[in-house]
Chain A
Amino acid sequence: MYLPYRRATQFLVFGLMFVVPVLNIFEIYVITGTFYAINFGGLGVADPSVILQAIFAAGEITVPLMTAAIFPLLVAILLGRFWCGWLCPYLFVSEGIDWLRNKLCLILFRRPPKSSATIEKAFSANLTRFSFLICGTALAGAVGIPVLNYINAPAIMSAEAMMIVKERAVSLEFWFVVILLVLQLSFLPKIWCRVLCPTGSIISLFRTSVTMKVISKSRPQTTPCCKERSCLSACPMGLAPYREAGNLLCVNCGKCIDSCRFNRLQFTGFQIDDAAPVIPRQQSDS
């Protein structure tokens, strides 16, 4: 079961967004910074997409820029999109919004929502977010300002948390996040994480053979192996894990693994041997 641990870390990160500025006010500087760039007692970590933009905007690669991006990329190589699935405050809120959307749809229209993701095909979603990242970085290089920072939702959330604690005010970007969440609630579900997020895009590019990912043992992979399609409804990124396990969109949250009653979805490195035998769909249905 991964869900309780994941919720615990997500709660912790969400709470720390507000606690860290309070500690800073009392001059305890163990953790400083926002999700643009953060420092845990000396270990500097910066959002790789932000660093990429700074490199393009300034037109130079400096030592501080490189060192800031090393640690997150190391985590990305080992654990995949661990940041997105387990720490990112936006996905935490976004999951809540998706849950709310389902509930509201059931109450208002007496049926589950029609679409669970903005761009249905995972390939097109990947294509969109990578081209968004490339266009944004190119624009940053052309204009000389890291422009994607203006809309980096998780980082804005932490910066606004700091603003609320320190100055008891919110800036314009706060309303950007609110609008994004409202859009997500109404008619563009999972718009940020699935279609736009530059941080997620750049993290998912660092996938190697050692990177932890979900593998599917369902055969044949073209059709779901159980009627309820539990993994499909569980996935917070709108993937169909029985055939798209280990897609670049996957955030390693482990929800599909929890939901699969045949244990056919597993993390690489955490494989269980007593997985139910791989059975064709017709037999499992009968």
Chain B
Amino acid sequence: MSSGILDFFKRIFVNRQNPIINDYRVNRLRPPGAVDEVRFMALCIRCNRCMEVCPYNSIRRAGFSATIGTPYVIAETKACYLCMACCRLCPTGALDRNLKEPPKVKMGKAKIEPSICYSHLFLEHDVIPTESLQKIGALCNTCYNVCPLQDRAIALKDNLYPVILDGCVGCGICVERCPTRPGRAINVIPAGMGRVDEAGFYFQKAKSNYDISQSRETSPQKPLSGEGLLEQKYRIDSGGQEPKFDFPYEKPRIKGDWD
């Protein structure tokens, strides 16, 4: 009993897993290269240099909370385009200076909500979600098309609907462009929100979502190139190869007569 209380206080005051420091929110991310949240809050001196150099105006200053003044990327309004301009000038090392390759960024991880996603709705539940889609007769897959790390972070399962892979860095471009309203069908869960050792109080809340996103992951695919890519594209438009359709009905063996 007493050890439980001790652990509780240790977690809050020594490991600093409290809602003041671990203030996570879905689709609100730290800039690329940010160290883990507890260290970030200690090291970030709120000088806003990352904000000033961001050519896309992606990085915003946090409003009223314990994190006031620290940088955030609000994925819904403007996502991070992974130009990596902010990392190299952080004066205190709250953003990793040596990080230059976008695939190594760990801002978070995207998660698709199948109950809203147009592609999932259409393919799994056979529902055409909106009239506009009915007219154009196309699948959405916007998230796949805008992803800067195509086939590493996101892939089209069966070439039909998007799934998130391990390579997702959480830049949030898919969230920015996702057409569903009011809620987005794809959301980025910030790094640390789903981990027990970092998330603190938010863990219980985030755990179920995180488990779902974990279970949806498949093994990382290599980005297709050359013949593989060609083959995939042929399969999509079925120009080159015969697509394999599962025909659920038995073919009649004997041709029947007219009578």
Interface residues of A (CB under 8 A from B): 20-21, 24, 27, 29, 32-34, 36-39, 44, 46-47, 50-51, 53-54, 57-59, 62, 64-65, 68, 143-146, 149-150, 155, 159, 162-163, 166-167, 171-173
Which residue of chain A lies nearest to B67 when distances are taken between CB atoms in the complex? A145
- Other 16 A-B pairs with CB < 8 A, given A37-B91, A57-B41, A64-B97: A32-B52, A34-B47, A37-B47, A39-B49, A39-B89, A46-B91, A50-B45, A54-B42, A54-B92, A57-B42, A144-B16, A146-B45, A150-B68, A159-B48, A171-B64, A172-B63
- Compute how far the CA of A37 lies from the CA of B89 in the bound complex, rounded to whole angstroms: 11
Q: Which residues of B contact A57 (CB under 8 A)?
A: 41-43
Query: Given A51-B92, A172-B63, are A159 and B45 neighbors across the interface (CB < 8 Å)?
Result: no
CA distance A38 to B90 in the complex (A): 10
User: What's the nearest-Cβ distance from chain B to residue A274, in Å?
Assistant: 46
Separation in Å of the A164 CB from the closest CB of chain B?
A: 12
Residue B39 interfacial (CB < 8 Å): yes
Q: How far is the CB of B38 from chain A (nearest CB, A)?
A: 6
Nearest to B15 among chain A residues (CB) is A144
Among B38, B45, B49, the residue within 8 A (CB) of A149 is: B45
Please measure, in the bound complex, the distance between the C-alpha atom of A53 and the C-alpha atom of B97, giving whole angstroms.
20
A33 / chain B contacts, CB cutoff of 8 Å: 47-49, 52, 91
Contact surface of B with A, Cβ cutoff 8 Å: 16, 20-21, 38-39, 41-49, 51-53, 55, 57, 60-61, 63-64, 66, 68-69, 89-93, 97
Chain A residues contacting B53 (CB-CB under 8 Å) are 24, 29, 32
Number of CB contacts from chain A to chain B under 8 A: 110
Across chains A and B, which 8 residue pairs bring their CB atoms closest together, nearest first?
A: A57-B42, A36-B47, A37-B47, A58-B42, A37-B91, A33-B49, A24-B52, A64-B93
A162 with B48: CB separation less than 8 A = yes
Query: B46 — which chain A residues lie within 8 A by C-beta?
Result: 36, 146, 149, 159
B49 adjacent to A46 (CB under 8 Å): no
Q: A54-B43, A145-B21 are in contact. Are A163 and B92 (CB under 8 A)?
A: no
Using CB atoms, name the residue of chain B closest to A147: B66
Q: Which residues of A have CB within 8 Å of B92? A: 37, 46, 51, 54, 62, 64-65, 68
CA separation between A8 and B158, bound complex, in Å?
Answer: 68
B43 touches which of A38, A58, A155, A173 (Cβ 8 Å): A58
B69, A144: Cβ atoms closer than 8 Å = no
Closest to A35 in B: B47
In the complex the two chains form, what is the Cα distance from A149 to B47 in whole Å? 10
CB-CB under 8 A for A44 and B91, given A33-B47, A33-B49: yes
Q: What residues of A have a CB within 8 angstroms of the CB of B43 in the complex?
A: 54, 57-58
Residues A46 and B45 in contact, CB atoms below 8 Å apart = yes
Q: Whole-angstrom distance from the CB of B234 to the nearest CB of chain A?
A: 43
Q: From A150, which residue of chain B is reached at the shortest CB distance?
A: B68
Q: Give the shortest distance, in Å, between B117 (CB) and chain A (any CB).
A: 32
Q: How many angstroms from the CA of A44 to the CA of B93 in the assembled complex?
A: 13
Cα A65 to Cα B66 in complex, Å, equals 22
Q: List 19 A-B contacts (CB under 8 A).
A: A20-B52, A24-B52, A32-B89, A33-B48, A37-B45, A38-B47, A46-B45, A54-B42, A57-B42, A65-B92, A143-B20, A144-B42, A145-B42, A159-B48, A163-B61, A166-B57, A167-B60, A172-B63, A172-B64
Contact across chains for B21 and A144 when beta carbons are under 8 A apart: yes
Chain B nearest CB, measured from A83 CB (Å) = 16
Name B41's closest neighbour in chain A (CB-CB).
Answer: A145
Which residues on A sit within 8 Å (CB–CB) of B20?
143, 145
Q: Which of B38, B41, B45, B90 has the most CB of A within 10 A?
A: B45
Q: Is the CB of A68 within 8 A of B42?
A: no
